[in-house]
Amino acid sequence: MGSCCTPGHGCSTGTESAGGTAVAVAETIAVADTTTAYAVSGMTCGHCRTAITGAVGALPGVVSVDVDVAGGLVTVTTGGASDDAAIAAAVEDAGYELTGRA
């Protein structure tokens, strides 16, 4: 997967980012939270962070998302067991590749 950034460091998707690094979704669930780290390839910039944070953060049961662009890691906290397939699909829909658990 390629970068979404143009050679001039612009965003080739035509969207602007809000600049956040994490999304927290408030849910009241009587289940213990699970934190899982995933290796993701193709991330190069703040827009990548924003795109993945938004896509994964919108999934049901996701409590928070932390994206480490330089390290190629996406750490997801869910209320209960994480759904690897749903998280992989959200990452792919955002234009990146989840290569496995880290």
pTM score of the predicted model: 0.72
β-sheet bridge partners, residue 40: 98
Q: Taking a C-beta distance cutoff of 8 angstroms, is the pair 92, 85 a contact?
A: no
pLDDT band at 16 (very low <50, low <70, confident <90, very high): very low
Residue-wise pLDDT for 78-101, tens only, equals: 999 999 999 999 999 999 999 999
Residue-wise pLDDT for 35-52, tens only, equals: 999 999 999 999 999 999
Q: Phi/psi at 91 (nearest 5 deg)?
A: -65, -45
The pLDDT mean for the chain works out to 84
Q: Are strands 97-101 and 62-68 parallel, antiparallel or unpaired?
A: unpaired
| Sign of the C-alpha dihedral computed for residues 9, 67, 22 and 95 taken in this order | positive
